Structure 1
Amino acid sequence: MSGAGQPLRIGNASGFYGDRFSAVAEMLEGGELDVLTGDYLAELTMLILGRDRLKDPGAGYARTFLRQLEDTLGTALERGVRIVTNAGGLNPAGLAEAVRTLGERLGLRPAVAHVEGDDLLPRAAELGLGGPLTANAYLGAWGIAACLEAGADIVVTGRVTDAALVAGPAAAHFGWARDDWDALAGAVVAGHVIECGTQATGGNYAFFTEIPDLAHPGFPLAEVHADGSSVITKHPGTGGAVTVGTVTAQLLYEIGGARYAGPDVTARFDTVRLEEEGKDRVRISGVRGEPPPPTVKVGCATLGGYRNEVEFVLTGLDIEAKAELVRAQLAHLDAEWTLARTDHPDAPGEEEASAVLRAVLRGNDPRAIGRPPGRAAVELALASYPGFHVTAPPKDASPYGVFEAAFVPAAEVPHVAVLPDGGRVEIAPPAETRKLTEVQEAKPPPPLPPGPVRRAPLGLVAGARSGDKGGSANVGVWARGEDAWRWLAHTLTTERFRELLPETADLPVTRHALPNLRALNFVVDGLLGAGVAYQARFDPQAKALGEWLRSRHVDIPEALL
């Protein structure tokens, strides 16, 4: 690839393993495109693929991607669109070979390359990672770039950072150097925006009622320029919308502080500037980059044990007393109890009059927490609270996973580009690194002058998006105007955040300010226990945590309402 005056148009067709199957075809056929990316991996996905690999050593990759190529490989080759995907999961070489086989069966000859080195499982003990089921380092963009420079039509990777799927093609196309920090950081920001597919075009958006044709939103694409700036847009005529709001929401998704660290560059999210350039076009500029940290993140997934649950439905009066009776009757079970007060007084429907009491059991013996506890619950049917019933009959226990993030020196992580002709290129670790430190929060803007206030939901004046990072959750909150930002920056302190979300009251909460985005990001450590697969709470991925926050009532200046 060689750089030119025109931007590189990089689209996305998958935000997770299970995303819209038709998206690959839609993106290839819907408009001009140079590169198509697909993100299939998440912390939970690695655990699923690890279990697949236990049953079949030849498995371990996202089979959906192969099925999508059945009808689209010819189109991609004909249009000269190169495909870069992390669907290789735990077996990128296996998926690359499967793509070649598919090409032969279709009478096509795609040049297929892959990136490997992220799988550290054989060296887990040596690196101090314990005995996990999977242990994969988050590789960067340069292996992808080497594959594309060697003429690959399709590049398959294992665990790379999500943003590397965009930064790699951009680096190859524009001929960036390893220390072009600002350009690389700009591409990382663009990659972060489009990596989750339609979340950038109105999906899961706080103000979703403002988004047109959300029944079938189009997938996003980034027009990346030689300096790393970009324009986020989508194919003409597709549903959804690209606005400063939708891009802001996605920028806040699953981040920590102002320094967004990766294996290639640390992007300064506090330097990001957004500007609406036209309908469905948002320009990202001003992003500054710094050398990456000296260590690389490694995601370790482990089978933590077995899990089972029983749900009791409590209806009508005396909900708390009914729940207490069940707990006393099943006190011999080592269970985690949660009472969800979904009931309403004087309800017109029985379901609206009911609450749910959930008992979760964990252990290493699936027989001990399998059907016996469920049977013990059912045996109470005629001997417990009035209206007794459960949501499901007794069931077997199921395995659950534990995710932990570790960090190893970058020099300890191999990074190899396996080219279309079988040649191998070793990617050196970064020559310059910088220890990661927090950015000190800048002085907030002046507060609004005193005035009348009204008790109302926070979400009337602020958007939010939340997500998971291992056992931690993040909640990004942004204001839609300068006055609202002045109020938000002074009102939503860490202490107020804990008050509004009592589940976080006893946990470490860190606030990070991003004034350019008129946003605050809160990181709550430990809310998700041992990660998504552990299922520590009703919303195990914290996807709705931001919406809970927006629903809480606070005193809002009437001028903002």
Structure 2
Amino acid sequence: MTGRPLRIGNASGFYGDRFDAMREMLTGGELDVLTGDYLAELTMLILGRDRLKDPGAGYARTFLRQLEECLGLAHERGVRIVANAGGLNPAGLADAVRKLADRLGVPVRVAHVEGDDLRTRYPDSLAAHAYLGGFGIAACLREGADLVVTGRVTDAALVTGPAAAHFGWGPGDHDRLAGAVVAGHVLECGAQATGGNYAFFAEGDVRRPGFPLAELREDGSCVITKHPGTGGFVDVGTVTAQLLYETAGARYAGPDVTARLDTVRLTQDGPDRVRVEGVRGQAPPATLKVGVNRLGGFRGEVAFVLTGLDIEAKAALVREQMTEALARTPPAETRWDLVRTDRPDAPTEETASALLRLVVRDPDQETVGRALSGAAVELALASYPGFHVLAPPGKGSPYGVFDDVYVPHGAVDHMAVLQDGRRVPVPPAHDTAVPDDPPEPPLPRPLPPGPTRHAPLGLVAGARSGDKGGNANVGVWVRTDDAWRWLAHELTADRFRELIPESGPLKVTRHPLPNLRALNFVVEGILGEGVAAQHRFDPQAKALGEWLRSRHLDIPEILL
């Protein structure tokens, strides 16, 4: 296709990502727009607690420190910056950036997007924010902004906004917007698209992956790549992994458009270049997602170390003792987990030891503190042989709970606020539809019978997993047609439950994506009330996919 593409890069996948990435992206090659994603469900809770202490806080302060080094550089190179670092206070961040620009002597026009804050609707929340789309960002850029900060927009909006402004797209350009959503979803987590957290990481040098960029064209297609000479690698696998991350079925609904992930086509377009095309879009749903973060209560934990022989009996003894002690002032919730990290005839004390974890929760901090500090410490000389704990139990720390609810588009005052103070309303989506539930796609012919070997799934399949509130998403993909013929028939929802036993009593939904040779599984409720509640050992399900890859099943030898 003719015409120069819009080059959009990413310099942050979360609040705390590599500080030098902004400079690396600005100096490493040509860019038109540089984006940064600083927000996540847990981040909003953290920023909410910050703002309780200081009403002027609530935004990602590291973004300001990055700009101190890079604002002049971006201005010299003509690169516009778009970031959601505004968090709970985008107006405050915009003012801080203007003061910084004045101090540095850099003539930068700063705008911000607001309207996502719905805390007045949810007065018991620390943070309640609608996920806005990209047209507020687009309005800021069309009015000449050089730097745009937002609060809670969708991660992909950081790309759909600049693309809509640059190409002149409107809300009805569903296919083009869907292509930009896919590009934005690939970029949003930074180095996860360039070899970071990648199942087949040994295939490239991922000690310091570069950050990704998209060469986006007017028709919505793009090429995912990275700056020359940076670490990591970009191939169909790294892009597939990120496409599956924290998505579910074939319809990826957002405030701008519903992108049809079952239409995405990926092809290798040269070294470190993957072409993304064919994406179709549909009208967005009539409602916006709202993330509500609230304080759930207080949480305390103690890990008893059980060493050597009779692990099960030692665990039973201390559990019985603690249960009796806790009955005096019972906390609202008690959870035990025995983690068998021990091995027979171990060469070190650590490898001879197992961990018995006790977690208690209660609305009252003192109840948590009494339950653990008193009861656990009193057993120090009166329990199993070798009694000790990993760390002294504390008084209990606050934990958060995340809920997602939905409101009509018109329930928010989506607003672009410009450098000169003008406020430009962003109209709600007028063309909406309920995302259709597509029929199950036809599966490929199964592989013919043949010899198998009992081996780890990860020898033939990659996986990436993550969290959406209390649910976990596990994407699994393979790299050949024959492997897809096997995986599509072998890894059913029931087989998934067998391989991941804790998902057994939960609802597991399987979503096939044949174009990607992939299956996406959603496990409902496995993360309890969300990451901030620390419900399980891996509270964001980051390694759930790697656990799945380590499980053994009968794999055809021709695939091995």
Query: What's the TM-score once normalised by structure 2's chain length?
Result: 0.98
2:497 & 2:473 partners in 1: Cα distance?
13
1:343 & 1:61 partners in 2: Cα distance?
44
Q: Shift of residue 338 of structure 1?
A: 0.7
- Which residue, out of 318, 328, 345, partners 2:320? 328
Report the more deviating stretch, 113-122 or 317-326. Answer: 317-326
- Which residue, out of 227, 247, 258, partners 2:219? 227
Number of the residue aligned with 1:304: 296
Unaligned runs of 5+ in 1: 126-130
Q: Shift of residue 107 of structure 1?
A: 1.2
Deviations 1:480-516 (A, max 9, x none): 1100001000000000000000010000110000000
Number of the residue aligned with 2:91: 93
Number of the residue aligned with 2:166: 173
- Which residue, out of 105, 114, 117, partners 1:116? 114
Deviations 1:249-282 (A, max 9, x none): 0000000111000001000000000000000000
1:545 & 1:438 partners in 2: Cα distance?
26
When the two chains are superposed, the root-mean-square deviation of aligned CA atoms in Å is 1.1
Contact 2:260 2:281 in 1 (8 A): yes
- Which residue, out of 130, 135, 142, partners 2:128? 135
Contact 1:371 1:395 in 2 (8 A): no
Contact 1:115 1:416 in 2 (8 A): yes
Contact 1:257 1:439 in 2 (8 A): no
Q: Secondary structure at the match of 2:366?
A: coil
Contact 2:372 2:394 in 1 (8 A): no
1:370 & 1:30 partners in 2: Cα distance?
51
1:458 & 1:471 partners in 2: Cα distance?
26
Q: Shift of residue 436 of structure 1?
A: 2.2
Contact 1:310 1:374 in 2 (8 A): no
1:65 & 1:344 partners in 2: Cα distance?
46
Q: What code does the residue aligned with 1:408 have?
A: V
**1:19-418 residue pairs with structure 2 within 5 A?**
19-124=17-122, 131-212=124-205, 214-332=206-324, 333=326, 334=331, 335-370=334-369, 373-418=372-417
Q: Shift of residue 374 of structure 1?
A: 2.4
2:60 & 2:317 partners in 1: Cα distance?
47
Contact 2:7 2:213 in 1 (8 A): yes
**1:474-553 residue pairs with structure 2 within 5 A?**
474-553=473-552
Q: Shift of residue 375 of structure 1?
A: 3.3
Deviations 1:417-450 (A, max 9, x none): 0112211111111111011232221121000000
2:375 & 2:390 partners in 1: Cα distance?
15
2:392 & 2:120 partners in 1: Cα distance?
42
Q: What code does the residue aligned with 1:359 have?
A: L
Q: What code does the residue aligned with 1:279 have?
A: P
Contact 1:100 1:109 in 2 (8 A): no
Q: Secondary structure at the match of 1:257?
A: coil
1:367 & 1:176 partners in 2: Cα distance?
56
Contact 1:205 1:246 in 2 (8 A): yes
Deviations 1:525-555 (A, max 9, x none): 1000000000000000000000000000000
Q: What code does the residue aligned with 1:545 have?
A: L
Deviations 1:316-354 (A, max 9, x none): 222111111111000132421011111122222111111
Displaced runs of 4 or more, over 4 A: none
Q: Shift of residue 187 of structure 1?
A: 0.3
Q: Shift of residue 124 of structure 1?
A: 2.9
Deviations 1:446-484 (A, max 9, x none): 000000000000000000000000000000000111000
Contact 2:300 2:393 in 1 (8 A): no
Q: What code does the residue aligned with 1:343 have?
A: D
Deviations 1:184-212 (A, max 9, x none): 00000000001000000000000111122
2:347 & 2:445 partners in 1: Cα distance?
48
Contact 1:266 1:293 in 2 (8 A): yes
Number of the residue aligned with 1:128: none
Q: Are residue 5 (structure 1) and residue 18 (structure 2) matched?
A: no
Q: What code does the residue aligned with 1:349 have?
A: T
1:64 & 1:4 partners in 2: Cα distance?
39
Q: Secondary structure at the match of 2:368?
A: coil
1:124 & 1:325 partners in 2: Cα distance?
45
1:370 & 1:70 partners in 2: Cα distance?
43
Q: Shift of residue 178 of structure 1?
A: 1.1
2:453 & 2:345 partners in 1: Cα distance?
28
Q: What code does the residue aligned with 2:46 have?
A: I
1:220 & 1:419 partners in 2: Cα distance?
29
Distance 1:71-1:4 versus aligned 2 partners, 3 A rule: farther
1:477 & 1:4 partners in 2: Cα distance?
35
2:152 & 2:31 partners in 1: Cα distance?
24
- Percent identity, aligned pairs only, is 73
Contact 1:471 1:528 in 2 (8 A): yes
Q: Secondary structure at the match of 1:75?
A: helix
1:4 & 1:460 partners in 2: Cα distance?
41
Q: Shift of residue 372 of structure 1?
A: 5.1
Contact 2:132 2:414 in 1 (8 A): yes
1:441 & 1:378 partners in 2: Cα distance?
56
1:13 & 1:20 partners in 2: Cα distance?
8
Q: Are residue 426 (structure 1) and residue 418 (structure 2) matched?
A: no
Deviations 1:159-203 (A, max 9, x none): 000000011001100011211100000000000001000000000
Contact 2:12 2:37 in 1 (8 A): yes
1:425 & 1:519 partners in 2: Cα distance?
42
1:239 & 1:132 partners in 2: Cα distance?
41
